[in-house]
Amino acid sequence: MGISPDIDGPYTSTHYFRTRVGCTEAYFHDHPEIVASPGILRGYTFDSPVVLMRTLEVFGLKDISIGSSVQNVPRLMMVRETLLAHPEMRIIISYWDRPFFREYLDLLGLFPQAVLIPDSVHVLAPQIIVPAPVPCGQNVPRLLLEMRDVIYAAMAQRGVLQETQPQPQREIVVIRRGGKRRVINHAEVMEALREQFGDTYPVVEFTSLSLIDTINMFRRARVIVGPHGAGLTNILYTQPGTPVVEFMKDDPNACYASLAANLGLPYYGFRVPGANHENSMTVDVDKVIEWTGRALRETVAK
């Protein structure tokens, strides 16, 4: 059985696919019959077409990106209607260690069709559908907005989509990042923001929450403040006109400026001297106050 998704974009193959997480040794193969050779290969065989998500290495693109929530997950929107119409199909997932991905699949109505595979396997199926990959640092606005609409509808149906708060109760959301690009003086930043703006706006900290709680927090935001990192992908769920203040690396990566522009959000970024992709950073608190104040003065959130 061959299935053609309704939207242009996915790549298809009637052969089998080999993928290895974290490396570039992934490719389409023209001889599925060697799967039957004992002791040579290990893998999985499916009777129905499958959608393969762990595929960016095939096209020479980096798989770890600005955040799977705006780069990998929206790729499912290319084939979602096809998957819902064919519940026998399966989605091959290789990064189950990221809980948010399971939550996304659930809200998109696709969780029952997901199958976890080990780091290195061979997949044999009548047809393998590969949603077209998105290069690192880029995004496809149409897919993002379609995904957001589906997620909001699912949350509303479950009664977990919070109504947005009227002014002036909207919050200043400050992203607290761990590991790489951690803000060493985060506590000082929080204290200064509360002292300067706390009488008007609650200043709250975003760390690690469930997907639903994350979406509701960002929907309540009056302004988003934080360092370069995947936490900023959640600006997808802010209200129109919500400004974004980013602490940028010394060698700026404009992926979040691009995301904000595609979402129609005002963007404010300032460089942190000495900050790079790997190390922690100490930000100038006065600059944080200056740029946050400017963002609040110059924008009107809906």
pLDDT reading at 302 higher than 90:
no
- Scan for tokens 């602490």, then name that residue: 247
pLDDT single digits (tens) 42-59: 567 888 888 877 644 443
* 284 burial level (CB within 10 Å; 0-12, 13-18, 19+): middle
pLDDT reading at 67 higher than 70:
no
In this structure, which topology does domain 171-298 adopt according to CATH?
A: Rossmann fold (3.40.50)
Specify the pairing of strand 120-124 against strand 114-116: unpaired
- When pLDDT is averaged across residues 68-90 and rounded to a whole number, the result is 87
pLDDT of residue 279: 84
Classify residue 72 by its DSSP letter: T
pLDDT of residue 110: 93
Answer whether 255's CB lies under 8 Å from 266's CB.
no
Percentage, residues of the chain above pLDDT 90: 44
More confident residue, 124 or 141: 141
pLDDT single digits (tens) 238-281: 999 999 999 988 887 888 999 999 999 999 999 988 887 778 88
Burial 109-123 (b: 16+ CB within 10 A, else e): ebeebbeebeebbbb
d(CA 171, CA 262): 23
More confident residue, 200 or 124: 200
Percentage, residues of the chain above pLDDT 70: 75
Q: Which residues fall within 8 angstroms of residue 102, CB to CB, at 6 or more apart?
A: 96, 111, 114
User: What are the boundaries of each domain within the chain?
Assistant: 11-137, 171-298
Confidence of residue 282 (pLDDT cuts 50, 70, 90): very high
d(CA 160, CA 211): 11
User: Helix H segments across 23-180?
Assistant: 80-85, 99-107, 141-158
pLDDT single digits (tens) 147-191: 999 999 999 999 999 987 666 568 999 999 887 778 999 999 999
More confident residue, 54 or 76: 76
pLDDT of residue 226: 95
Q: Which residues fall within 8 angstroms of residue 254, CB to CB, at 6 or more apart?
A: 137
pLDDT reading at 18 higher than 70:
no
| Least confident stretch, 14-23, 73-82, 198-207, 216-225 | 14-23
Q: Which residues pair with 17 in a beta bridge?
A: 28, 123
Q: Which amino acid, residue 144?
A: L
* 244 burial level (CB within 10 Å; 0-12, 13-18, 19+): buried
pLDDT of residue 4: 44
pLDDT reading at 61 higher than 70:
no
| Least confident stretch, 85-99, 169-183, 190-204 | 85-99
Classify residue 23 by its DSSP letter: S
pLDDT of residue 38: 36
pLDDT of residue 127: 82
| Average pLDDT for the chain | 78
Answer whether 89's CB lies under 8 Å from 49's CB.
yes
